[in-house]
Amino acid sequence: MFSVHYQETSKSGITVDEVDTVEIVTGPPQEVLMWRTFSRLARSIDANQIMNSGGSADSIANDWGSCKEAKIAYEISSVSLETQRVCNALMDSIKANGALIEMSPTDTKLLGIGLYLNPQN
């Protein structure tokens, strides 16, 4: 629910404050959806690693595996890291009076397999 406040001036010059309260039915907030996605991806990656390791926590590899959820999580984390690198380069450029900051992709294999361009992979 939210309120809209506005003022109207009539032809006679009188200003009237108006308030409309609007109730909108929506889905869950963005933060809830992000946490749900995070937990779904994490549970899938964990389940895939345990299944592929024979159930032994000691033999679980450090990589996330090759399941669909692992690819999505890898892409999300890679895009997040690249975004942070761009923000850092912008801050460095600002500190250097607008100097050009050279950047190269951190993970060129992402570009090679087209995950940034084709999210169905």
In angstroms, the CA 77 to CA 90 distance is 20
- Residue 120 in domain: no
Number of domains in the chain: 1
The predicted-structure confidence for 66-79, as pLDDT tens digits, reads as follows 778 888 888 888 88
- Residue 59 in domain: yes
Q: Is the pLDDT of residue 61 over 70?
A: no
In angstroms, the CA 115 to CA 108 distance is 11
Q: What is the pTM of this model?
A: 0.53
The predicted-structure confidence for 93-120, as pLDDT tens digits, reads as follows 999 999 999 887 665 555 544 444 444 4
Chain mean position to CA 56: 32
Look up the domain containing 71 and give its range.
2-113
In this structure, what token pair is assigned to residue 84? 């942070």
